Amino acid sequence: KNEVEQSPQNLTAQEGEFITINCSYSVGISALHWLQQHPGGGIVSLFMLSSGKKKHGRLIATINIQEKHSSLHITASHPRDSAVYICAVTIIQGAQKLVFGQGTRLTINP
């Protein structure tokens, strides 16, 4: 079983819909990251959080440390939000390193 699991793996929605992508992890962590990878391949860090909730524009990220779960929400989705969203955690056991989920491919149709 992977240490970081994302769901769904693929998501297609219509423009304007509210989007939720989930991330669950099975190890102790010091932080959780949400990354965005556009079709061109570039990777951008969206959020780094260790507790609570962060908001940036139409994007909201939440984390529940007790349940080992995080969600990424997109409000009023737009075709330009189409990308792969990757959850990653920095683990606190052994040698600290970044462990990635497999990614969620989001497609927003106009």
Partner 1 sequence: DAGVIQSPRHEVTEMGQEVTLRCKPISGHDYLFWYRQTMMRGLELLIYFNNNVPIDDSGMPEDRFSAKMPNASFSTLKIQPSEPRDSAVYFCASSLQVWGAEQYFGPGTRLTVT
Q: Residue numbers of the site for partner 1 (CB under 8 A)? A: 30-31, 33, 41-45, 48, 86, 88, 90, 95-103
Number of H helices, E strands in the chain: 0, 11
Least distance in angstroms from the C-beta of 15 to partner 1 = 27
11 membership: H or E segment, kind and range:
strand 10-14
Toward partner 1, which CB reaches closer, 20 or 96?
96
Q: How far is the CB of 77 from partner 1 (least distance, A)?
A: 23
Least separation, in Å, of the C-beta of 57 and partner 1? 16
* Per-position DSSP letters for 30-66, written without gaps between them: EEEEEEEE-TT--EEEEEEESSEEEEETTEEEEEETT
Least spacing, CB of residue 23 vs partner 1, in Å? 13
Using the minimum distance from each CB to partner 1, give the nearer residue, 14 or 50.
50
Distance from chain centroid for Cα 18:
15
42 or 110, CB closer to partner 1?
42
5: left (phi over 0), alpha (psi -120 to 50) or beta: beta
